[in-house]
Amino acid sequence: MSKPVVAIVGRPNVGKSTIFNRIAKQRIAIVEDEPGVTRDRLYAPAEWLGHVFSLIDTGGIDIDDAPLMTQIVAQAQIAMEEADVIVFIVSNPEGVTDADEHIAQMLYKTDTPVVLAVNKADNPEQRQEIYDFYSLGLGDPYPISGVQGTGLGDLLDAVVAKFPQHQDTPEDASVHFSVIGRPNVGKSSLVNALLGKERVIVSDIQGTTRDAIDSRFQDENGQEFTIIDTAGIRKRGKIWENTEKYAVLRAQSAIERSDVVLVVLNAEEGIREQDKHVAGLAHEAGRGVIIVVNKWDTIHKDTHSMQQFTDAIRTEFQYLDYAPIVFVSAKSTQRVNTLPALIQKVAENHERRISSSVLNDVLLRAISVTPTPTINGKRLRVYYMTQVKSGPPTFVAFVNNPDLVHFSFQRFLVNQLRAAFDFSGTPIVIIPRQRK
């Protein structure tokens, strides 16, 4: 379940984000160019020769107005705390700088393995000139070029060789969910309310430090749940904890390990710009999503309040039209007990698989009632549909010409699927492909 985490550290301008973007896997755009969906990534899934891992660019975590050294120290600390392997990047043309030495000294103190990469070694001569970097005392320097992509293979070989040995952890069948939202919406209160209501399981499973901060509980039906990153939700008083970028990183790392994400809003304050940012993260990751409107106790309610809030959510988060909305109060625990069953249902829908025969019955019925679109005199034909994966449900539609499948037709297919099967809470991905 838990993938190794690789963090990139180094002073500004050595090429961290260039390397990050080279190594990070392209994300699958569920819907392209949605407003409100974040584009700047600090955290991304990655893969090298069958090893899957998560990649963090600590350079993106900046603490407002703090001096350079404070920033670098905080970034290195985050890496030491979060990562299984640290990639320390320096720059060949500039040689070893004071800031590099400072970072190296911090890294001596950690047990986390460090791989030293010398970037901007763009040609064979420069790749020969890396011996100065042995003075950093971090072993062999790996010459790389972020702009050309050279040397990354050797670097990644060295990185994956340092991954922790696979431990045989018992199969974990619990539903994993995370609770995300901007500061003060009531995430920790909600987690406490959930843990207060349900039977908390004290787990003696040995895990890594990062696993140890999850909380496990069982609902009244015996279904087990794991709340991801409970310690990240409860603050520990580190200086970088209040930066938005760090919060985003934390949220992304929690989402990555979740089946279902609870996006928490604050009824008292309404919907803010930052809420859209947070919701966009959940949507992009392709997880199940539930929108939880917290602090419902603070609203002077009349018969329309819930409908009005629902309408506002549907307008502001159009891409999350599949997410159920729940109105709760973590303070009075009102309706908090409805959450576990809903989380379980969304997790099931997220993993749902439909057989091809049933799927094609639905498809044939749909296109017999509604003709497929014609574009420039060419009619789209859909021959066959098959589900290629779940989590989220992903369907390939074999067509005469994928260019004829526009957004509105994808939307039509998704709506047909939602009408025929219970996919509430989960995004659905449709991939048009030319029939050979």
* Residue numbers at the binding site for ligand GDP (CB under 6 A): 10, 12-18, 59, 119-120, 122, 145-147, 181, 183-189, 233, 294-295, 297-298, 329-331
- Closest distance to ligand GDP from the beta carbon of 227 (Å): 13
- Closest distance to ligand GDP from the beta carbon of 100 (Å): 12
Q: Where are the beta strands (DSSP E) in 181-221?
A: 199-201, 215-218
What is the C-alpha radius of gyration for the chain, rounded to an integer number of angstroms? 24
55 or 233: whose CB is closer to ligand GDP? 233
- Closest distance to ligand GDP from the beta carbon of 164 (Å): 26
279 or 354: whose CB is closer to ligand GDP? 279
From 132, 129, 127, 131, select the one nearest 143 (Cα to Cα): 127
- Closest distance to ligand GDP from the beta carbon of 79 (Å): 13
- Measured between alpha carbons, how far is 41 from 249 in angstroms, rounded to an integer? 9
- Measured between alpha carbons, how far is 23 from 148 in angstroms, rounded to an integer? 13
Q: Which residues pair with 384 in a beta bridge?
A: 398
Is 59 annotated among the ligand-binding residues? Answer: yes
Q: DSSP assignment, residue 164?
A: P
Q: Which two tokens stand for residue 193?
A: 């309310």
Is 373 annotated among the ligand-binding residues? Answer: no
From 169, 114, 158, select the one nearest 2 (Cα to Cα): 169
Is 230 annotated among the ligand-binding residues? Answer: yes
Phi, psi of 289 (to 5 degrees): -130, 135
Is 295 annotated among the ligand-binding residues? Answer: yes
333 or 372: whose CB is closer to ligand GDP? 333
Is 61 annotated among the ligand-binding residues? Answer: yes
Residue 272 corresponds to which amino acid?
R
266 or 426: whose CB is closer to ligand GDP? 266
- Closest distance to ligand GDP from the beta carbon of 195 (Å): 13
- Measured between alpha carbons, how far is 218 from 212 in angstroms, rounded to an integer? 17
281 or 399: whose CB is closer to ligand GDP? 281
- Asked if residues 203 and 169 have their Cβ atoms less than 8 Å apart, the reply is no
- Closest distance to ligand GDP from the beta carbon of 22 (Å): 9
4 or 186: whose CB is closer to ligand GDP? 186
Is 229 annotated among the ligand-binding residues? Answer: yes
- Measured between alpha carbons, how far is 228 from 175 in angstroms, rounded to an integer? 10
Q: Which two tokens stand for residue 311?
A: 């309408």
Is 301 annotated among the ligand-binding residues? Answer: no
Binding residues for GTP: 10-17, 57-61, 119-122, 181-188, 229-233, 294-297
